[in-house]
Structure 1
Amino acid sequence: MVLGEPGAATPQQSPDEAAESSRRKRLTLESLPPQRYPNVVQAAPFLTFCADPEDHYTFGVDFFIGGIAALPLPR
């Protein structure tokens, strides 16, 4: 479950603390074994930074609704 946009500060964080937290998360993902997690390693910057919050949430809602729409109807 996603609780917020990647890289955004929580109410308890300053912008500098949020940037450092995002950097640490990116490095953690990038340090995973690339043979086992090639897609996660490659996507690490996108999973830890959000350039456009509106696009981030729009994509998330569209993705969720698309998944629901693809479910078979109950019989």
Structure 2
Amino acid sequence: MDRLATRTLRLAGPRRDRAVSAAAEWNRGMAALAAGRADTALGLLARLDERGHDAAHPIVALSAGLTGAETARR
């Protein structure tokens, strides 16, 4: 999963496609959470709402908000 997300980020970055980058970061965060790495997951999910980050996307950040809250709780 992480290999595919990394490749997606590498391809989407030069195209400045924030929606695709945000989806890839969200998937990386979910994979980290499923693997029990809550701190890593929280860092990845925080990028979705980080001003200036290539993966920042307000709609994806809003959608991932509950996941972020669950991750922070862990």
After TM superposition, the score normalised by the length of structure 2 is: 0.35
- Structure showing greater radius of gyration is 1
- Name the structure where helix makes up a greater proportion of residues: 2
